[in-house]
Amino acid sequence: MPEIEALKQELSKTDDDFRQLLEEHRQYELRLEALSQKSLPSPDDEVEEKRIKVHKLHLKDQMESMLRTHLTEHAAVTA
């Protein structure tokens, strides 16, 4: 979906809230990558991994909601 990717790029430049969610999502992704590099994760690492995945999903849902809202508003303006 090129339109969605273009909108993500636009919002990452123009919308502070979206940019903050995106950056937080990226930081969690980096932390998950670091955890996955461990050859023997501790129980605490496993708990942290689950917590991060849940939080990342929540962030993704928030960003997708913002994208849908923007697309809906844009469609109403162009209609």
pLDDT at 78: 67
Domain boundaries, the chain: 2-78
* Whether the Cβ atoms of residue 35 and residue 45 lie closer than 8 Å to each other: yes
Quick: pLDDT tens for 5-62. 999 999 999 999 999 999 999 999 999 999 999 999 999 999 999 999 999 999 999 9
Measured between alpha carbons, how far is 72 from 40 in angstroms, rounded to an integer?
46
Residue in the block written with tokens 């909108």: 7
pLDDT confidence bin for 74, thresholds 50/70/90 = confident
pLDDT at 62: 98
pLDDT at 77: 72
pLDDT confidence bin for 76, thresholds 50/70/90 = confident
What token pair was written down for 32? 């998950």
Q: If DSSP codes are grouped into helix, strand and coil, which group holds residue 52?
A: helix
* Total Cβ atoms within 10 A of residue 18: 20
